[in-house]
Structure 1
Amino acid sequence: MRLLAAMSGGVDSAVAAALAVDAGHDVTGVHLALSPDRQTLRSGARGCCSVEDAHDARRVADELGIPFYVWDLADRFREDVVDDFVAEYAAGRTPNPCLRCNEKIKFSAVLDRALGLGFDAVVTGHHARLEGGELRRSVDAGKDQSYVLGVLTGEQLAGAMFPLGSMTKDRVREIAAERGFAVAAKPDSHDICFIPDGDTRGFLNRRLGSLPGPVVDAATGEQVGEHGGTYGFTVGQRRGLGIAVGDQRPRYVLAIEPVSRTVTVGTADLAAVPGVRTGPPSWTGPVPPLPFTAEVQVRAHAAPVACRVSAGDDGGLLIEFAEEQRGVAPGQSAVLYEPDAVRGDRVLGQSAVRTACATEEPLSR
C-alpha cells in the first residue's frame, strides 16, 4: 500500500512510520505545520508542532529512507480548531480540541489531500486499534486515545492505520531506542498544543477580554464571588473558583450562563446528573438501532459508565447513566462503546453534550 505517515516529531509517530516501512508499504512522511509562529509552540513537554518537532520528524524520515514533506495547515487549524475552541468557551461550553483536530485536520484535511494524491491511507501514532474496520481501545489503557478518535466515521477509518494500538507505550519507546531514534526518550506533549504554557484561562482572556460577572451559590441564590469571564470555568470544576462561602463544604461549578455572565456553584450532591441530551451523533460504523445499552465516556480520561441510549430531541440522543455522573459539561463529547459484557472496547460513535437531564426526570431502565 502507498501510505502517508503523519509525523509530529514525537516517538509515537516515529515508531508508527517505522512499523509501516517494516511491513513493506511505500511510505512518505509529512509533518503538519499548524501554527504561524512555530518557534514558540514547544516548552519542555508542552505543546507540539514547533520547528524543533519538524526537525525531529525529518531526522526520523531520513533514517527510515522515506520522502518527507511539511504541509502548512496553519490557517485551517486556526479556523477549525483554535477559533472553534474560543467560540465554544465563549458560549459556555467545554470543547475537546484534540477531538476536533482529529475530525477536521488529520482525518479530513490531511486524509482528503492524501487520497487525492493517490495514497491509500494515513498512518498515525495514535494509541487505538483498528480490527476489521472497527475502532477499538488500545491494549495500553493508560495511553488509550480511542476517545478522541470517536468522532471519525467509517469512511475515515477506512483510510486510517494505527500500528501502535496493540502495544504499550513502554514497548514503543523500546522500539525507538532499538532503532537509535533520538526521539526515543522525548517527553510526550501535554495539555493543549496551542496553549504551551497550560494557562487556558489566560489564553482565552487575551482573545475575549475581561467579561466580569457574579458567582452564585445554587442553594441560597447569594453571590459568593466575582469572575473575569465565564470562559474561565467548566462544569464540574472545583479548584480556582475564587469564592467565599459560609460553610467548609467544597463547591463545584454547576452551570455557566454566558449571556448574564453568571457562574452557578453548588455542593457535591447537586453536581451529579443522571443523564444528558446530546446533538446529532456520528457513528464509526453501521447505525445501531435505538434504543440500546452501551458504555459511555464523557471526558478523555473519565472512566466509562454503563448507560441506555435512546432517541432525543432534534436528531440527538438521550443518554441515561446507570450511575449519576459529575463534571459532565455541555460541549464535551459523549463517546459510546460496546457494553463491557460484550467486549467493552469497540467504539460505536459519539455525540456532543447539549444539556444534562433534569434531576427530577425519571430514568427508564
Structure 2
Amino acid sequence: METNVLRRTFLGGVLAAATPVLDLAALDHLTAASRDARRYSDDQLVAHLRTALDETARTDSLVGPHTALPTALGLITAIDSSAREADPAVRHQLLNIGARAAELVAWLYRDAGAPAHTTSYWHAQAKEWATLTGDGTMHAYVLLRQAQATDRSDAARMLDLARAATNDPWTLPPRPRAEAYQQEARALALTGADSGQVTRVLDLAYAALDQADPVQALPTCTGPLGESYTAERLMVQSAICYREARQPERAVALFRQHLSDGTFAPRDRAFFTAQLAGTLADAGEPDEAATVALQALGLAADARFGQALAELSRTADTLRHWARRPAVRDFQERLLAVAAG
C-alpha cells in the first residue's frame, strides 16, 4: 500500500513532488521533456533518452540540480509510461536507462535539499529497475550512492552500505569499486577507527583503481559505471577521509596538491574547495579558511550546489570561535546573504 502511494506521488503526480524545489518555468521544462519523448519510435526513443539523460547530468555538474531536475523527472515519467507498453526487449532497455535516471534523480534531490526520504525513494526505484533487468552491477552502484548520501551522523549505516557494495553477490568494476573502498574508509574514520585502518582501506581503493582500464571517451551518465572516478578524485576524497580521521594537516596537503590541476567540473570543485576550507578551519587557520570558503561560495552560490553549501555552513560553525576576525566575518556575512537569497 505504501509503495503504491509513493509511486502515485512521484510518478503519477510528479509535478506536485517537484514543487518544493522547482519554479513554474522549470515545471514547463519537465512536461516538455515528457511530451518530447512521444515523437520517437522504440529504437529512437531509447537513443533519445540516453542522450537526454547524459545531457541532464552534464547540466547538473555545470549549473546545479535545480536546473537539471525538471528534465530528469520528465525523463523518468517518459521511461515509466513508455515501458508499460513496450515489447520485452525495448522494455528491458528502458528500465536499464530508468535505473540510471532514478539514481541521478536521487542525487539531484539530495543536492537540492529535499528530505532524506525523497532521496531514499529514488534509490529504491533505481535498485528495483536494476533488479528487474538483472543488472547486479547497477544494484551495487546504488548501494555505494546510498552510502554517499548517508549523513555523517549515521556512520555505521554508511559503513554497512559501502561494504555491501563490494561484497558478494555484487561485482563492481575497478573504478566504482575504488570509490566504494574510499567511502568505506571515510565511514571508518567517522566511527573512530585509527588512521592506520583508514589508510589500509584506502590502499584497497588505490589498488582497485590501478586495475582500471584507461578511460576511452568522455564519461557519461549512461556509459560504464564510475568512469569519471579518476586518480585525482580519489586523492581529494582521500583528503576528506583524513579530515574525518582528525588529520587536517595531511588532508590539507592532499587538497592543495590535487585541487590545483583544474580537472573538476564546477559542482565538484565547489564541493572539494568547501571541504578544503573546512579542513583549514579544523587545523586552526581561520583567515585562510575564510578566504578559501569565499572562493567555494563564489562557485556554489549561483548554481545552488547543495552539498558545497552544506559544507560551507559546517565551516561557518567551526569558524564561530574567530567571528571577530575580518575575513571570517566577511565570509559569514556573505554566506548568510546567499542563504537569505
Taking structure 2 as the reference length, the TM-score comes to 0.29
Give 1 or 2 for the bigger CA radius of gyration.
1
Hey, which of these two has a bigger chunk of helix by percent? 2
Higher RCO (C-alpha under 8 Å, 6+ residues apart): 1
> What's the TM-score once normalised by structure 1's chain length?
0.28
